[in-house]
Amino acid sequence: MKSSNSYLVAAFVIAFSVLLVIPMWAAYGVLFPKEGGHGAHGAGEMLMASEFEEKTARFIEERRLPDGSVRGEQGKPIYVMAIQYTFRPNTIRLTAGEQYDLQMLSTDVVHAFSVQMGDTSYNAVVMPKVVTALKLKPTKPGTYLVVCNEYCGIGHDYMYFSIIVEEAEGGEHPEKMSKEQHEKMNTMTKGQEHGEHR
């Protein structure tokens, strides 16, 4: 029986055209739309847990506010340590419009950084030994929940912290937090304590 091989050729063209999707986006200019810079490019820096722990402790000590939260400084590293079943520090304050350099490391098992932004999220793996480095630039004030989304043990669902983004100038200060933010902070601290004591 003679068959029409032109359909087979057409099928090959259609199947191989799927390979063009990604280069097409690159040509269209939507790839690499990130404003933050090149923090995630290349593999992360290798670092010992003890060294990172020290850096994190120093960072928290230097930047701690009276309410226990920690304020990030533009251009300088913000250290976040992931440990079963908490993040340190557990509340970070940033200012909208500024660019930050976030450095994360786990000191035990593999964790993750999943920041909730309303109806979507940004997700990255946080490992022992290799630093997860991200440039981030908040554009909209608000309180953002960050959860671990890599199973890290039976207390995994108690592992979360928050990033509070504040207005650039004349905006809110920790002392002038809204009632709602105060409530959220209190709930979070309780949750973290529960997680740590499991």
Partner 1 sequence: MSLVQEIGKSHPDDQKLMAAYGIAGLLSLVGAFALAAILVVIKTPAFGLVSGALYYRMLTGHGILGFVYWFAFIQAALLIAGATALRDGGRLWSLKLGWLAFAFTTGGLVINMVGVFSGADVLYTAFPPLAESFPATPLIYLGYLFVATGAFLITLDFLATVFTWVESKGSVEGWKRMLTEIHISTFAAICAVPLIFSVVLTAFFLYIPAFLGSMGWLALDPMEFPMNFRMTYMVMFHITHYIPAMAMIAASYVLVELTTGANSVYSKTVAKGLFLMYPAVVPPTFVYHLMADPSITEGIKIIGSALSLLVWIPSILHMFIIMGMMEANMRSAGHSVFGWIMHLPWKNPAFASLIMSMITFGIAGGLTAVLLQEQTASLLHGTFAVPAYIHPMVVGAASLTYMGLIYYGVSICMKRDIWGSLIARIQPYLLTIALLVFAWAGTLAGYAGVPRRTADIGFGGLAPESWQTLMNVAVGIGGTLTLIAGILFFVVIGMTMFAGKKLLVPSDLGNDLAMLEVTPTREFVYTPTALIPGVIFVLVVLIFTAGAFSIMGKWPIQFG
Q: 3-class DSSP state for residue 87?
A: strand
How far is the C-alpha of 177 from the C-alpha of 67, rounded, in Å? 10
Q: Which stretch binds partner 1 (CB under 8 A): 4-12, 57-65, 66-74, 169-177?
A: 4-12
Is 145 among the residues that bind partner 1 (CB under 8 A)? yes
23/62 with CB nearer partner 1: 23
Is 44 among the residues that bind partner 1 (CB under 8 A)? yes
153 in Cβ contact with 109 (< 8 Å): yes
How far is the C-alpha of 156 from the C-alpha of 86, rounded, in Å? 9
Q: Which stretch binds partner 1 (CB under 8 A): 32-40, 55-63, 72-80, 166-174?
A: 32-40
Q: 3-class DSSP state for residue 25?
A: helix
**CA nearest neighbour of 91 among 112, 60, 62, 120:** 60
8/65 with CB nearer partner 1: 8
Is 91 among the residues that bind partner 1 (CB under 8 A)? no
In this chain, which of 53, 73, 98, 137 binds partner 1, going by CB under 8 A? 137
Is 72 among the residues that bind partner 1 (CB under 8 A)? no
Partnered with residue 160 across adjacent β-strands are: 147
